[in-house]
Amino acid sequence: MDVSEIIIAGDTPGVEWRLPVFRFKGTKPEAPRTYIQAALHANELPGTALLHFLLERLRQAESEGGILGDITVVPQANPIGAAQSHFGELQGRFDLGTRTNFNRDFPLIALGERPSLVENIDRHSAVDWLKRHLLSMALGAELVLDLHCDDEGLQYAYVDETFWPEASDLAAALDMQAVFLSDGESSAFEEAVAHAWKHESAGERRTSLPGRLSVTVELRGTRDVYPEMARKDAEGLYRFLARRGVVSAESHPLPAFGGVVAPLDNIEIIRAPESGAILFHKDVGESVKEGELLATIIARPGMADGAIEIRSPQDGLIVTRVSTRFARRRADLMKIACAETSRAARKPGTLEA
Ligand SMILES: [Zn+2]
C-alpha cells in the first residue's frame, strides 16, 4: 500500500489542505481498477468508518497476494468541508464561501479530456482544485464508488440506469434495501464520472458501459456510525470487489438483490405544507399504504385546528426521513419509494439541492 497526499493551496494566506490517498497495485493488468471515496459531504462519516476497516482488509489481502486490480481509496475526501464548523455545527454539505453543494458542479468532460482537469490547477479555487483531483483519480478506474449517507435512512444507492441491473451485485453485497435509478442528468460526482465515460471522445454518446460502474451509495443516516455496522459494510464491499475480480477471495455466492428498485420519478418527496414541529408516525424501513398517516405538523401549538396531518400519496417504502424536528414551509420530510410514478412534478437531475 502506498500512501501519499495531494496538497491543495488554500484561498487565503497561510492555509493549505492535505488529502491522503491510499493506493494498492494489482497483480493482474486485466482486472478492473477501482476508486472509492467517502465524506465528500464532510458530515457524512459512515463511509469513512467503512473505508477504515476496508483498508485494513485490503492490507491483509495485499500481504497474501490477493490484490488483483489497482485500488485507490480516499477515506475523507473533503478536508475543506470538514473544517467548516459554524457556530459549533459542522457544515459539510455546502461550501460556505460559494454556497455550492460539494457534490455538484463537477466538470462534465469527455474521458479524453481527463489530463486537462489538473492542468494549471492553481488557476482554480481550492474547492474546484479538490473536485478536479477527485474526478481525475476516479476517471483512472472502471469501478467508482462515492460513499454518502442520508439524514435518517436505509442502506440504498443512486444508480444511473445505464449500470442497472449489472450493479445489483453491489446492492446485494451491501445488503441494500432500495436502489434509486437516476437519469444521469446532474453535475454530481458520480454522474460526472459516468458522463465522461459516455462521451469517451467529443461528439460520442455511449448508452451502455458494461464492466463499469459509478454509483452514489447512501450508507443509512448521519448518526449510523458504529463499529459493527462499519465492519459489516466493509466486508460487504470486499465481497463486491471479489465478485468483480478486483481482489481474490473464496467465492461465496451472493444472494440475489431483493430490495426495492425505483426510478427517481417514483420517489415521493413528502413536504411540509406549513412550518411547525414534526411528529413522525412512521420510521424509515416501514411500508405504508396510500392515505396512511406519516407525520403531524404542529403548525399552531395549542389551537384546536393547529395540527396538520400528512398522509402517504401512494403505497411505498419509507427510505429516508429528516433528522430535524422543525419544519420550514415546503421543507422535505421523507422520501418514499413507490411502484407508481409520483404525481408531483420533478425536474431532471438530482432529488435534492
Ligand atoms: Zn452526501
Kindly report, residue by residue over 31-42, the tens digit of the pLDDT: 999 999 999 999
- pLDDT category of residue 346 using cuts at 50, 70 and 90: confident
Ligand 1 centroid–CA 262 distance in Å is 19
If you measure from the C-alpha of residue 144 to the centroid of ligand 1, how many angstroms do you get, rounded to a whole number?
15
- Name the residue among 349, 54, 32, 28 with its Cα closest to residue 230: 54
* 299, part of any domain: yes
Closest CA to 287 of 239, 333, 331, 338: 338
Which domain covers residue 227, as residue numbers? 1-257
Rounded CA gap, 76 and 48, in Å?
6
Residue 273 within any structural domain of the chain: yes
Distance 234 CA to ligand 1 centre (A): 18
CA of 40 to the centre of ligand 1 (A): 7
Instruction: Look at residue 353 in the predicted model and tell me its pLDDT.
Output: 74
pLDDT in tens, 187-244: 999 999 999 999 988 788 898 999 999 999 999 999 999 999 999 999 999 999 999 9
Examine the domain organization and report whether 249 and 284 are in the same domain.
no
CA of 308 to the centre of ligand 1 (A): 30
Q: Say if 238 falls within a structural domain.
A: yes
Distance 45 CA to ligand 1 centre (A): 10
Q: Is 80 exceeded by the pLDDT of residue 289?
A: yes
> Would the pLDDT of 175 be above 90?
yes
Average pLDDT, the chain: 96
Residue 349's pLDDT is: 78
Which residues have CB less than 5 Å away from ligand 1 (the ion)? 41, 44, 148
Band (343; pLDDT cuts 50, 70, 90): confident
pLDDT tens string 16-29 = 999 999 999 999 99
Cα 79 to Cα 304: distance, rounded to the nearest angstrom? 49
Q: Does a structural domain hold residue 341?
A: no
**pLDDT of res. 351:** 81
CA of 302 to the centre of ligand 1 (A): 37
Same domain, 204 and 325: no
- pLDDT higher than threshold 90 for residue 185: no
Residue 251 in this model has a pLDDT that exceeds 80: no
- Give the DSSP letter of residue 67: B
In this prediction the pTM is 0.96
Give tens-digit pLDDT for 63-79: 999 999 999 999 999 99
In the predicted model, is pLDDT for residue 348 greater than 80? no
Q: What is the CATH number of the domain that holds 181?
A: 3.40.630.10
| CA 214/CA 160 separation, integer angstroms | 8
Residues 6+ apart with CB under 8 A from 236: 173, 174, 175
Same domain membership, residue 241 and residue 186: yes
Helix (H/G/I), strand (E/B), else coil: 155: strand
Question: In 108-119, which positions are buried (b, 16+ CB within 10 angstroms) versus exposed (e)?
Answer: ebbbeeeeebee
CA of 77 from ligand 1 middle (Å) equals 12
In a domain, 342, yes or no: no
Q: What is the pLDDT of residue 89?
A: 93
